A and B are shown apart, each in its own frame.
Chain A
Amino acid sequence: MGRLRETWRKLRHLRRRGAMERDLAEEMQFHIERQAAERIAAGIPEREAWRAARAAFGNPTALGERSRDVWSFTRVETWLRDISYGGRLLWRDRGWSLTATATLALGIGGTVATFTFVNAFLLRPLPFAEPDRLLHVWSTDTALHTASGRVSTADFLDLRREATLFEDLAAFNYTEEDLSDDREPQRISVGRVTANLSRLLEVEPALGRWIAAGTDRPAAPREVVLSDGFWRSHFAADPDVAGRVLRLNDEPHTIVGVMPTAFVFPLPTTQIWAPRVLDPADARTRRHLQVLGRMKPGVTQPQAAAEMEAIAARLAGRYPSENATVSTRVVPLRDALNFAADILVPMVAVLGASILFVFLIVCANVANLMLSRGVARTRELAVRSALGAGRWRLVRQLFTESVLLALCGGAAGVLLASWNLSRIARSVPPDLYRVGALAIDREALVFALVVSLLAVLLFGMLPALRSTRPDPNVVLKEGGRAAGFAPRRRRSQRLLIVGQIATSTVLLIAAALMAGTVRELRRVPLGFAPDGALTLKLILPETRYPDAARVAAFHRDVLEHAAALPGVSAAATVDYLPLNHEFPVAEVFAGSTPVVAGEGAEANALTVSPDYFQVMSIPVVGGRVFDARDDLRAPPAAVVSRGLAESLFGTDDVVGRPIVRRGRGGNDRTYTIAGVVGDTRHRGLKGAREAQLYVPQLQAPTRYLRVVLRAQGSPEPHAADARLLVRRIDAQLPVTEIRTLAEVVEEFLLPEINIRTALAEQAITALVLALVGLYGVMAFAVAGRTHEFGVRTALGASRAGLLRLVIGQAARLGILGVVVGLLAGVALTRFLAGFLVGVAAVEPALFAGVAALMLGCCVVAAYVPARRAATVDPVAALRTE
């Protein structure tokens, strides 16, 4: 209590410090005057009296200081003094501080960016109440080999009715729908959801209300809720937006509310939530819903999973023709929303590991830098210690400097991280589910602070602490020259260098393997020619295109107009583009119905217009491709890829033979093979030969389509023409994803390219850091041995001999590091194996190349210090004694 009052009085006193100084000065002056007067009264001459009085009083400045100290916050002020002293020292060694700060920044920049990335995409909990109780229900189908399938309306309604361990189940899916208003037609991303979603996720609109219960019934009036972003971009954040009407796919929808910014569901790009109409009359085999549920409190995921499976088993018994092979699988909601997790997690693991490696190198460099500085300061510390500074006082000083350094490095690292993040953000698909922004936030800042303090204090302070324990006797006697060359310290510095070189070697190997992979992937024959082709995406709304005839008419019109465009040699329509992550899987059998289960082949089923093969430059191997004859009146025709023909019939001479495509719920369809075409890559560039089944658009026109234009020369200039041509046919139809086919292919390679680029960056950073470290240690060692080199030169050592001596020492460290690195590389690159294509994880030539590169770099890094050693002037060197 007393202390508290004192502190309070001290604080109040701060304000009248000036007055107090004046008071004290005057008071002391008064004291001296009285002493002088006393002496004058005793008969001492005036001058002498004053002098004696002043002498008796003592030093008023020191006295004043001691009086002031009573009122000051001694501890805080000492601390501030430490900081300013530390700052001055760091400033004095600007070069050293800059190197240390830059090194730290490189390490922090990478780790903080990775942390933020992982946090947003994988770690941060969903922004809904008690996200642990939220599960996602997939349907599985052993016949179709699907583990993450959607659920039909009828199944969903049954699951919802019969579930007892769930508070509620909701259904949703995401669609792209046409927004028609006065502006240019556009397609927006819509979350189609059941009305109970808001209650289930426990999220309330920021404005207005959520879509009302019952609006998901077939005949109910349609309501929509806007996302914050869409509300701002389309309605200028109008607070009175509720009540206005939007036309979505030609249907009027009334706006009833706006969701808060943080509400992200089911995609980060979702702009509008509209009711998912549940029609109980929908076929049980039409599986198009995703299902999520909130478990009752205390229910575990296995219990919930068991209940869902039990209900699914009952449904399979009740509806054997539709559901015999269908069951369910539940996963945490976050895993289901994060649909790219299977790519993301291993990618993050590889990149995270490489970042960690770089961070270790950074720590080693910081440790090395601190050691060197500690050595350089041994004399200073010894002097201070000899003058009576306690060890604790010296440690505190070093600690303060380290913290200052960590803060500088951390701040620079955060800047670097935010730049890194803006680059990463551009290379990540925008619809990948994440929670929170991909930006530096408070969590990232705390992480950066902790990591930088850790790097400096743990890896920098501990070695530096040793230098506060020198014996002043020894250090001062040796004149500081040899002080740093205790063998123990030299050993630890060299150990760090070897570790750095080894780590860089591993990263270089990984980067080279990924570069090889990307190169190999680019070499994989696609089976089609991506250059010179332009693609665009169209989705024909059911309202304006209610039947096959109208869809077919649109296909015909668009092809006619497109082929007439100047500079366009051919045009085709197809439902799914190759290498675009869209797999229309079909099970195909040789012969006619009934088929024998288990004897089919899995193929990608593509619906194409007659000129598709010409536009894509897919060679015809046998028979014919589609033409105008293959219309609705003609018998069903198919074109198969060679791969499909050979896997079904063992030969590609299959023209005229029948094949069966298995449909959902026993709707099998028999086709006659009209022709055989070359193999193409549709699903991916890795893995086994693919099988494609082509059916004609004329017999089953699709509402979801891509137009592919083959241009003479560069395709980009035709983008505007293509947009116009669609406008002429249907002015309300949005055109999206206008891309060249080459861009589609390049985008497909992005994960590998991203990993390669990131690994290459990490490897180069690591290499540079390791070389800077090696250079520093060699330069430092040479500087410390100036005397020795002088003696050697004086005794007749040649310059070449000295060069060899120093470079040889660096090379020994390099060789040791590279050998350790290669061995570690053999062990660690196995983890990369999943990403590698066309290259073995252990490639002798590549390993040898990396080793040669590393050693070459080591020699170069050692050359400058070596030259300095070789050019030591013996006279000057010996005179410094």
Chain B
Amino acid sequence: MGRDSTGKPKSEVLPGTLEMLILQTLRRRQMHGYGIAQLIRQASEDVLQIEEGSLYPALQRLELKDWVTAEWRTTENNRRARYYCITPAGRRQLDVEAADFGRVVTAIARIMTPA
């Protein structure tokens, strides 16, 4: 952990937020695992790099909890890929987590902002 093969420093995803990030990513569109990692990295302007080691177990957890479903589809390049899709329960969970996260971030920001 810590560095990828390019040696570029990368930040760890805050514990417990990975699932939220995945759900947020899937909110607008269905996506495969690789795409999810890419989207999160791009959206965070390369600050957040998703470890494959935690991405797939997290996807399995979400599937187990019935917050996402998965199906095989063909990509634009005509390649088979497993696409994840958020479920209504997943959306509700995302709303709850997003609200919680917002409160926590605001609180931390308040503490960290010099008076």
B5 to A27, Cβ gap below 8 A? no
| Known contacts A27-B82, A34-B34, A9 near B64 by CB under 8 Å | yes
Taking CB atoms, residues of chain A closer than 8 Å to B65 are 2, 6
Q: Please indicate the chain A residues that have their CB under 8 angstroms from the CB of B57 in the complex.
A: 63, 66-67, 69-70
Contact of A23 among B37, B52, B53, B82 (CB under 8 A): B82
Q: How far is the CA of A26 from the CA of B81 in the complex (A)?
A: 8
Contact A58 B52 (CB under 8 A): yes
Selected from B34, B53, B64, B81, the residue in CB contact (under 8 A) with A63 is: B53
CB pair B60 A27 closer than 8 Å: no
Interchain CA distance A2-B66 in the complex, whole Å: 10
Q: Which of B32, B59, B70, B82 counts the most chain A CB atoms within 10 A?
A: B82
Q: How far is the CA of A71 from the CA of B57 in the complex (A)?
A: 10
User: Is B56's beta carbon under 8 Å from chain A?
Assistant: yes
- Cβ–Cβ contact A63 & B52, under 8 A: yes
Contact with B along A43-74 (1 / 0, CB 8 A): 00000000010011110001110111111000
Within the assembled complex, what's the spacing in Å between the Cα atoms of A26 and B56? Answer: 12
Q: A5-B66, A67-B57 are in contact. Are A30 and B34 (CB under 8 A)?
A: yes
Kindly list chain A residues whose C-beta atoms are within 8 Å of the C-beta of B70: 23
| Known contacts A26-B80, A31-B33, A31-B34, A57 near B64 by CB under 8 Å | no
Residues in chain A near residue B72, CB distance under 8 A: 23
Residues of B within 8 A of A63 (CB): 52-53, 56-57
Contact B53 A27 (CB under 8 A): no
Check B5–A28 contact: CB distance below 8 A. no
B103 CB-CB contact with A under 8 Å: no
Q: In the complex, which residues of chain A have a beta carbon less than 8 angstroms from the beta carbon of B110?
A: none
Q: In residues 48-79 of chain B, which contact A (Cβ within 8 Å)? A: 51-53, 56-57, 59-61, 64-66, 70, 72, 79
In this complex, the interface size class of chain B, counting residues with CB under 8 Å from chain A, is: 20 to 34
B45 within 8 A of A: no
Quick check: A6 and B64 within 8 Å, CB to CB?
yes
Given contacts A6-B64, A10-B64, contact A28 B80 (CB under 8 A): no
CA distance A33 to B33 in the complex (A): 12
Q: Which residues in B have their C-beta under 8 angstroms from that of A69?
A: 57
User: Is A102 close to B, CB under 8 A?
Assistant: no
User: Cβ of A416: which chain B residues have Cβ within 8 Å of it?
Assistant: none
**Contacting residue for A9 out of B5, B53, B66, CB 8 A:** B66
Shortest beta-carbon distance, A3 to chain B, in Å? 11
Which residues between 1 and 42 of chain A lie within 8 Å of chain B, taking CB atoms? 2, 5-6, 9-10, 13, 23-24, 26-28, 30-31, 33-35
B89 to chain A, nearest CB (A): 10
A131-144 contact mask (Cβ, 8 Å, vs B): 1 or 0: 00000000000000
Q: B4 on the interface (CB 8 Å rule)?
A: yes
In the bound complex, do residue B61 and residue A70 qualify as a contact, i.e. CB atoms below 8 Å apart? yes
Chain B residues with Cβ below 8 Å from A33 are 79
Contact pick for A67, options B51, B56, B79, B80, CB 8 Å: B56
Whole-angstrom CA separation of A187 from B52 in the bound complex: 88
Q: Of residues 1 to 56 in B, which have CB atoms within 8 Å of A's CB atoms?
A: 4-5, 32-34, 37, 51-53, 56
B82 touches A26 (CB 8 A): yes
Q: Give the residues in chain B near A52, CB-CB below 8 Å.
A: 5
Q: How far is the CA of A64 from the CA of B33 in the complex (A)?
A: 14
Which residues of chain B are within 8 angstroms of A57 by Cβ–Cβ distance? Answer: 52
Find out whether the CB atom of A30 lies under 8 angstroms from the CB atom of B32. Answer: yes
Q: A35 to chain B: which residues have CB within 8 Å?
A: 34
Partner of A27, one of B4, B32, B51: B32
Q: Does B64 contact A28, Cβ atoms closer than 8 Å?
A: no
Chain B residues near A62: list those with CB within 8 A. 53
Q: Is the pair B64, A66 in contact by a Cβ cutoff of 8 Å?
A: no
Tell me the nearest residue of chain B to A31, going by C-beta.
B34
Residues in B with CB closer than 8 Å to A30 are 32-34, 79-82
CA distance A582 to B52 in the complex (A): 92
Given A9-B66, A10-B64, A70-B60, A58:B53 Cβ within 8 A:
yes
Least CB distance from B96 to A in Å reads 13
Q: Is the CB of A67 within 8 A of B66?
A: no
Which B residues are CB-close (under 8 A) to A70? 57, 60-61, 64
For the complex formed, measure the closest distance between the CB of B64 and the CB atoms of chain A, giving whole angstroms: 6
Nearest CB to that of B70 among chain A residues?
A: A23
Q: Once the chains are docked, how many angstroms separate the CA of A305 from the CA of B54?
A: 81
Contact between B64 and A31, CB atoms less than 8 A apart:
no
A24–B41 alpha-carbon span in the complex (Å): 22
Q: Closest B residue to A64 by CB, please name it.
A: B56
Asked whether, in the complex, the Cβ of A24 is within 8 Å of the Cβ of B56, the reply is yes
- Bound Cα distance A534, B38 (Å): 105
Which of A52, A62, A67 has the largest count of B CB atoms less than 10 A from its CB?
A: A67
A57 to B4 CA separation, bound complex (whole angstroms): 9
Residues of B within 8 A of A13 (CB): 64
Question: In the complex, which residue of chain B has the Cβ closest to the Cβ of A56?
Answer: B5
User: Chain A's nearest CB lies how many Å from the CB of B9?
Assistant: 15
Q: How far, in Å, is A49 (CB) from chain B's closest CB? A: 11
Bound-complex Cα distance A867 to B8 (A): 72
Cβ–Cβ < 8 Å partners of A24 in chain B:
56
CA distance A62 to B80 in the complex (A): 24
A28, B72: Cα distance in complex, Å: 13
**The one of A5, A9, A27, A56 that contacts B56, using a Cβ cutoff of 8 Å:** A27
Chain A residue at smallest Cβ distance from B1: A58
Chain A residue at minimum C-beta to C-beta distance from B4: A56
Residue numbers in B under 8 Å from A2 (CB-CB): 65
Task: Give residues of chain A (168-218) contacting chain B, Cβ–Cβ below 8 Å.
Answer: none
Please, which residues of chain A bring their CB within 8 A of the CB of B61? 70
Please report the C-alpha to C-alpha distance between residue A55 and residue B80 in the assembled complex, in whole angstroms.
23
Given contacts A27-B82, A28-B33, 14 further A-B contacts (CB under 8 A): A6-B64, A6-B65, A23-B82, A26-B80, A26-B82, A30-B33, A30-B79, A30-B80, A63-B52, A63-B53, A67-B59, A68-B60, A70-B64, A71-B64
Listed in ascending order, the chain B residues whose CB lies under 8 Å from chain A are 4-5, 32-34, 37, 51-53, 56-57, 59-61, 64-66, 70, 72, 79-82
Identify 14 residue pairs between A and B in the complex whose beta-carbon atoms are under 8 Å apart, listed by A's number: A6-B64, A9-B64, A10-B64, A27-B33, A30-B33, A31-B33, A31-B37, A56-B5, A57-B52, A63-B52, A70-B57, A70-B64, A71-B60, A71-B64
Q: Which 4 A-B pairs have CB atoms at the shortest separation, nearest pair first? A: A70-B60, A31-B34, A34-B34, A66-B57
